Amino acid sequence: MKAHPLARRLGPPSPPANCYRRFPHLARIFHGSVVDHDVVGVVAVSDIDTIVKQVRYTGWKETQEGDRTVRKELRQVLKKFGLPIIGPLFDNAYAYVSENY
């Protein structure tokens, strides 16, 4: 389906402001990748934050099990929303999680 000419000129809508306040960098990663599904991106960001907080622990990045668990949960969230589980979206989201959680 083609976008309306005005929509093409204006570009994609921005994610809600509260998403930027709570998860500014992660929201930008998803906003750039989920243009047609803005709400999906916002919900996915919130789900990632919730799930990562549940499965992470001190030192998770230094253990193979911790790293594998976080990667698995991140992929499950992406899959849940029909987003690619490999490639730049996953890599950027994982890099953000690894650095910030």
82: containing domain: 5-100
15 CA to centre of own chain? 12
CB atoms within 10 A of CB 45: 26
Nearest of 4, 30, 6 to residue 14 by alpha carbon: 30
pTM: predicted TM-score of the whole model, two decimal places: 0.69
Domains identified in the chain, total number: 1
What is the distance between the alpha carbons of residues 2 and 6, in angstroms, rounded to a whole number?
Answer: 11
Supply 69's token pair.
């668990």
pLDDT in tens, 1-49: 444 444 444 445 454 545 556 666 777 777 666 545 555 666 778 888 8
Each residue's pLDDT tens digit, 48-82: 888 888 888 888 889 999 999 999 999 998 888 88
Count of CA atoms in the C-beta half-sphere (13 A) of 63 = 9
